[in-house]
Structure formats: C-alpha cells, structure tokens
Amino acid sequence: MASRPASTRSVLAALAITAALVAVPLARADGDPASDVLYATSLFPSYDGGISAGNLEALKATLADSKKAGYEIRVAIIAKPDDLGSVTALWAKPRQYARFLGTELGIVYKSPVLIVMPNGVGFYHGTHDTKSAYAALSTVQTGTGNQLAQAAVDSVATLARQAGHPFTPHTVSTTSTSGSRTLLIRLGIALTAVVAVLGFVGYRVRRHR
C-alpha cells in the first residue's frame, strides 16, 4: 500500500493535536469532570488547586504504593466549586459527593473512593459500611492548597492501615505555593528589566562607535 502524501499526514496530525487541545476544556465543562478522569486513573487533582507539582507526585506515588500493599483507592481533590462541573450543589458536601461519584464510577470500579475538600473528607465503598472509615478519618485535617494533598496522603494511609494493608506514605510539604509563585513572578519581572537595560546599553555603545 502506498504511503499517504506528506500533506495528508500533516492534516491528520493537526487534527489530532486540535482534538487533544479541545479535550481539556470539554472535560472541565462536563457534568462531573472527576468521574471522567477516575474511570482511567487513580487521582483527580483539581484544576489550579494550589498544590505543588512535587506534592502531586508524592500523592500519586502514595496511591501507587497503597495499591501495591493491597489497598486500591481513587481520590478526587475538590479545591473549589469549579472542580465539580455542573454539580456545584455538592460543594462543601464531601460525604454526599463521595456517594455521588462512587455510584457513577461503580459501573467499572468497585473499590473505595476518597473525596478531599477544604472543609473535610468523604468516603464511599459501594455497599460497605462507612462508619468505621469515617471514625478513622475523623482526625484528618484539611485546608487549602498543599494542605489538601497532605489530607489526601494521611487519609489514604489511614484507610489502608485500617483495612490491614499498611505502608509508608510519601512526604508532602504543606508550605503555601503562593509565596513561591510570587517570587517567580518578581524574578521574571526583574530579569525582563535587566535584559531591557542590557539591550539599551548595547544600543548606546553601538551608536557611539
């Protein structure tokens, strides 16, 4: 079979890229974005939730280690109402949302689901009783930004231990990312100013030669 012309391959590649770029906003506009993500992976990390990249990696590694230890769980971090798509009525109601999301995922996923919101955590495991799980999770402290990652790691480790599958969770930093972000912005502005000054000096030197 003859290979496709280069122009055809270019068009197909462009269409593929366009489809990938469109996928993200479509997911965010969905009725429940977390369900779309958690069908295929173990973590829905919130969009712009203030969690550092390092802490997200630590959380992903914790989930992987929990699964290796024999306790699989999927986690949704809901940092703000936008993360709920069109079901914002469940904002600040982690227990109700855990049941809602867990029921949606139940078609393909039967293991536990954990929800972490700024005001608390939610847990769902099909027809299993959740009283003991909520008793164990009662000491977990939540918050905003990196505190959500810490709460998720603590919750997963607590639930795995209670189920008889203990493991050592990865360490996260609860230091706010806002200060680092502000510093980077300031450094960027300063660097731009330095480049502009150096360019101006170079221009003046060339003029006087």
Domain shared by 154 and 187, yes or no:
no
Residue 9 is predicted with a pLDDT of 55
Domain range holding 198?
Answer: 177-209
Domain shared by 117 and 200, yes or no:
no
pLDDT tens by residue, 61-80 = 999 999 999 999 999 999 99
Domain shared by 39 and 116, yes or no:
yes
Does residue 21 fall inside a structural domain?
no
- Total count of domains within the chain: 2
Question: pLDDT > 70: what percent of the chain?
Answer: 69
Q: Is residue 194 pLDDT above 80, yes or no?
A: no
Q: Which of 28-37, 86-95, 176-185 has the highest mean pLDDT?
A: 86-95
pLDDT tens by residue, 92-131 = 999 999 999 999 999 999 999 999 999 999 999 999 999 9
Could you tell me which residue, 14 or 123, shows the higher pLDDT? 123
Distance CA(61)–CA(115), nearest Å, equals 18
Strands 113-117 vs 120-124: parallel, antiparallel or unpaired: antiparallel
Domain shared by 136 and 37, yes or no:
yes
Domain shared by 61 and 157, yes or no:
yes
Does residue 14 fall inside a structural domain?
no
Residue 31 is predicted with a pLDDT of 81
Does residue 77 fall inside a structural domain?
yes
